[in-house]
Structure 1
Amino acid sequence: MRTSYQYRLKPTACLAEKIDKTLDMLRYQYNYQLAQRFDWYEQNRCSIDRCSLVVCHIPELKDKPNRFSQQATLIQLKKDRPWYKEIHSQVLQEVPKKVELAFDRWLKSDTNGKKSGKPRFKGQCSYKTFTYPQFKREHFANNKIVLSKIGTVKVIVHRQIPDGFDIKSVAVTKKADGYYVTLSLDDKTVPTTKLDFKVDNIVGIDLGLIDFIVTSDDERIAAPKFLRKAERRLKSAQRRVSRRKKGSNRRKKAIKKLGIQHKKVADTRKDFHLKTANNLLKKYDVVAVEKLNIKGLAKSRLAKSVNDAGWGQFISILTVKAENAGLKVVAINPNGTSIECSRCGTKVIKLLSERKHNCPNCKVNLCRDMNAAIIIKNRGAHDLKAQTMSSMRSL
């Protein structure tokens, strides 16, 4: 089982300066290697049988930079710029890996077939994480962690690492309110499937903006609307930033305070999602959810409310927690869940303002969100049964 624990670091002023310097040097190298990729793309993107509007002659084709060729140049980099020797070699080798991931997602796509936008050069203070891909367990003990080429840093250990878990990698991140370390843990002894898994213990949940969740058992959790409640404080902090002179120390302090306010909203939302997911998985073995087009909804007139609800983050947390517990999350097709009758299947067209489902055929009368949750549960049970049958046939 793979999981991650995040702890807050309490570095001294000297160690904090080293971390900032490391991030800044890694940012320069990231931008340089990304520029190499862009140069290769501009010089090689036109076909040999036609003229490009950008390059008016057929250039000499160059080898495409890749992760390993860019890693090989780091040896010469340390000779030309000896201050890069202050960075651990594996930390520096992670930069070409990041560049390749960002570049390939733009030109090709990720594992799900989705393309990303053109990668951007990192501005000042926008490169915030570096990773040690290998780490020894004994370097994290007595509320302290030893970061190679940086030093020994105090850690606030709010929870102990369980016995049997190995530390696979360590990531150091600079956030608005300080520095954090994320430990990637692995324990191969934990079973991936729960032995007493009950397929019939299933619930359907309907995500909404008024009620964050309505279950098929008629349990409701009101939408907390963290961003809406914090809007006044955020506007005040943003106003202070806009009034400060660009480049001044007062503006930097105002930006830091604004970042802390945004982080507080994000943290409270994530805490709410974690607790909600835990409560669901304590009661049910299978949770059925809609496969929503959240990016599309975030471009509608309900964009602020959709982003404030954070459905995507919640579904991601719910899925990961279910996998770690050996439980199941089933994503179903959302088409027709808001108009179909959960009892007879008749399609009842309703306006968004109509919050009740009244079926003229079977005379059922209930909340439209609960009606949708029951349909989601039924579809989830059907899909789960089909998956079970197909897996049995394959065996």
Structure 2
Amino acid sequence: MYPDRAQKHTLEATLETCRRVYNSMINDRKFQYDTVQVSVGYFAQKAYLPAWKKAHPELKLVYSQVLQDVVHRVELAFKAFFDRVKKGETPGFPRLKGAGQYDSITFTQNDSFKVGDSTIRLAKIGQIKAKIHRKPWGELKTCTVLRINNKWFACLCQEIEAEHLPPSEEAIGIDVGLKTFAAFSNGEFIENPRFFRKEEKALAKAQRKLAKQ
């Protein structure tokens, strides 16, 4: 994507706001557990957002579904943490994101973004010029905007029907072995190329040369 200066500023401000929300949600879970031994989940934290918007007007500048996705990411981070604990692995507690470390936002409803021939429209950000490599052909589900090396990209997820291959009577069985590389059920064989045997002398010579280095 090729945002203009104003759009780039809005995208960067959105990332920073989401980073602060992400860190606040992690701190809230830690505080709740340390003080009253209560584990706060996704739906409880998502319910915070309306009240937080009243206290922090900058949250109103970010599309609501984007903020809810931030809460979902926190949920996934803690789920992965507890899964590692159950497996007896060394669990890394979910970390806070430092400045510049939150590099993506996700629009989770297809009415919050629209893909054109050479643009992508994002809710509360606007219509951004983009190079559309492939025209979507399925039902668009999500749009994740990423900042990579100060460049901007959009990753689209779509749902499509499975394409069934036409029926064929040319099925064949293949057995991979040592004597022959492959044997087919129709009686054909592919001989073993024996690359190692062909290059064994050259390899031994190279190893002797390496040993003298």
**Fold match by TM threshold 0.5:** yes
Structure 1 residues 189 and 85, CA gap change in structure 2 (3 angstroms): same
Question: 1:165-189 deviations in whole A, cap 9, x for unaligned?
Answer: 1111100000004000000011125
Equivalenced residues, count: 184
Cα separation, 2, equivalents of 1:97 and 1:180: 21
- Structure 2: gaps of 5 or more residues: 183-191, 201-213
- Matched letter for residue 10 of structure 1: Y
> In structure 1, how many angstroms separate the alpha carbons of the residues matched to 2:174 and 2:10?
52
Q: Is 1:171–2:144 an aligned residue pair?
A: yes
1:186 aligns with 2:148: no
2:34 paired with 1:42: yes
Q: Does 1:117 align with 2:92?
A: yes
1:10 partner SS: coil
CA distance in 2, matches of 1:28, 1:138: 23
**Which of 7, 16, 24 lines up with 1:15 in the alignment?**
7
Q: Distance in 2 between matches of 1:184 and 1:36?
A: 31
TM superposition shift of 1:103: 1.1
**Contact preservation (8 Å) 1:108, 1:115:** no
Q: Deviations over 1:86-122 (max 9, x none)?
A: 1111110111110111012112249x99775221110
- Where does residue 200 of structure 1 map in the other structure? 173
Mapped partners of 1:199, 1:38: distance in 2: 58
Q: Paired residue for 2:104?
A: 129
Selected match of 1:156 from 112, 116, 131 = 131
Write the letter of the residue equivalent to 2:151.
G
Is the Cα contact below 8 Å between 1:173 and 1:180 reproduced in 2? yes
Q: 1:180-219 CA distances to partner (integer Å, 9 max, x unpaired)?
A: 000001112523x775594635779xxxxxxxxxxx57xx
Q: How far has the Cα of 1:127 moved from its partner?
A: 0.3
TM-score (norm 2): 0.74
| Alignment partner, residue 119 of structure 2 | 144
1:87 to 48, 51, 62: 62
Q: Deviations over 1:304-358 (max 9, x none)?
A: xxxxxxxxxxxxxxxxxxxxxxxxxxxxxxxxxxxxxx9xxxxxxxxxxxx94xx
The equivalent residue for 1:263 is: none
Check conservation: 2:107, 2:113, Cα contact below 8 A.
no
The structure having more radius of gyration, on CA atoms, is 2
TM-score, L = length of structure 1: 0.42
Change (3 A) 1:125 1:203: farther
